[in-house]
């Protein structure tokens, strides 16, 4: 994957500015949120277009007027930040969840971890967002559906572009939507085209393997058992598009979802020739090294258990990084058939 050129940010200075802004706002008491719209005028604009020039884009919540040349963009959810990076933008703020980004690939993890934070991905902090003086906010529709009052507070700060959270291909639509909001559609479309070409090549190069095995994607937690995923869940979209065939039990799971099972039902994994899991949750082989049910599974006995370094995708660049792990796994599967 071509390296992404990520803009730099003086993080210490940015945090100092946020702290100062929030301290000033502390004196406003109950009226603080009522005045946050005033902060939108503090955003900087160094582009070639006039500061007030806007354009209309389509979001899941309807049409929105956004700046032609946005300069200070907040990512108020877990997924839009990586999509911004693909478009050549660094968020001025994003959720605190990226401070522990174990399931996020490079270069996204390092870059996003150091940025100013604006609350949790499911409950962003309106005052922290306002203190950053954004001229545009991007986010998924999780908040507008689950906490409409907070969403309205955030929407009053700056133009807010909202994209779908769920759906097998929501990550693609969201990535292209964020690119449109940032007026960088051509740049991200290039990544999208590269992804589709890479998928096609993988399927062609590994048709022999893909036609012979059935896979299951699972995550295992010692305290609660394991989960099986539909091939149309966002964690499995790239695996499916790469041509891996899921076993019948996975196909029976409702589209776009996953199902939890107690550890005692690990025999459900015996329907698969290959088990794929996420090493970010802990290597399943190590966790179940002494489990007799797991050790009897066909895939385990044939040494056909593989772990990806992370799960799911949030952008086309992320998906391309995910795909880099597929070829060596396909080669191992082929050698063991």
CA 145 to chain centre: 19
Structure tokens at 146: 């689950």
Where are the alpha helices (H) located in the chain, listed in sequence order?
11-26, 80-86, 108-113, 126-131, 142-146, 148-155, 170-181, 185-205, 207-210, 237-241, 248-251, 284-287, 292-295, 298-301, 316-323, 326-336
Structure tokens at 190: 């290039």
The CA distance from 85 to 143, in Å, is: 22
Percentage of the chain surpassing pLDDT 90? 64
The CA distance from 112 to 110, in Å, is: 6
Structure tokens at 323: 């795909």
The pLDDT value given to residue 197: 98
By CB atoms closer than 10 A (0-12, 13-18, 19+), residue 144 is: buried
* Residues forming CATH 3.40.50.1980 domain(s) in the chain: 11-183, 203-336
Higher confidence at residue 50 or residue 270?
270
According to DSSP, the β-strands at 305-308 and 274-278 are parallel
Question: Please, which pLDDT band fits residue 212 given cuts at 50, 70 and 90?
Answer: very high
CATH code for 11-183? Answer: 3.40.50.1980
Q: What is the pTM of this model?
A: 0.81
300 cis-preceded (ω within 30 degrees of 0): no
Residue pLDDT, tens place only, 82-105 = 999 999 999 999 998 877 766 788
Residue pLDDT, tens place only, 151-163 = 999 999 999 999 9
CB 142 within 8 A of CB 119: no
Mean pLDDT taken over the chain: 83
By CB atoms closer than 10 A (0-12, 13-18, 19+), residue 75 is: buried
The CA distance from 216 to 320, in Å, is: 21
Residue pLDDT, tens place only, 93-146 = 999 887 776 678 888 888 888 899 999 988 999 999 999 999 999 999 999 999
The CA distance from 314 to 207, in Å, is: 27
CATH class for the region spanning 203-336:
alpha beta
Quote the radius of gyration of the chain (alpha carbons, Å): 22
Segment 18-33 shows an average pLDDT of 31
């Amino acid at each position: 994957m071509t390296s992404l050129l990520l803009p730099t940010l003086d993080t210490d200075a940015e945090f100092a500015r946020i702290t100062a802004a929030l301290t000033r706002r502390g004196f406003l008491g109950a009226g603080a949120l009522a005045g946050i719209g005033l902060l939108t005028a503090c955003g900087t604009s160094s582009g070639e277009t006039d500061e007030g020039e806007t354009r209309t884009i389509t979001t899941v919540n309807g049409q929105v007027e956004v700046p032609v040349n946005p300069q200070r963009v907040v990512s108020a959810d877990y997924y839009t930040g990586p999509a911004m990076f693909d478009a050549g933008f660094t968020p001025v703020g994003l959720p605190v969840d990226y401070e522990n980004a174990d399931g996020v690939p490079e270069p996204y993890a390092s870059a996003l971890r150091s940025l100013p934070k604006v609350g949790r991905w499911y409950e962003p902090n309106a005052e922290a967002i306002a203190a950053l003086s954004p001229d545009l906010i991007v986010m998924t529709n999780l908040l507008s559906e689950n906490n409409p009052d907070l969403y309205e507070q955030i929407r009053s700060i700056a133009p807010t572009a909202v994209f779908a959270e769920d759906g097998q291909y929501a990550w693609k639509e969201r990535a292209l939507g964020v690119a449109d909001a940032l007026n960088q559609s051509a740049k991200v479309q290039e990544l999208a085209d590269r992804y589709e070409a890479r998928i096609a090549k993988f399927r062609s190069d590994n048709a022999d393997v893909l036609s012979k095995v059935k896979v299951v994607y699972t995550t295992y937690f010692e305290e609660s058992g394991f989960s099986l995923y539909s091939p149309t869940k966002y964690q499995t979209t790239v695996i499916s598009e790469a041509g891996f065939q899921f076993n019948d039990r996975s196909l029976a799971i409702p589209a776009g979802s996953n199902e939890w099972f107690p550890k005692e039902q690990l025999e459900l994994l015996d329907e698969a020739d290959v088990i794929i899991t996420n090493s970010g949750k802990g290597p399943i082989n190590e966790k179940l090294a002494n489990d007799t049910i797991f050790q009897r599974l066909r895939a385990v006995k044939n040494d056909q258990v593989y772990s990806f370094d992370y799960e799911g995708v949030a952008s086309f660049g992320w998906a391309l990084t995910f795909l880099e792990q597929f070829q060596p796994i396909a080669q191992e599967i082929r050698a063991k058939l």
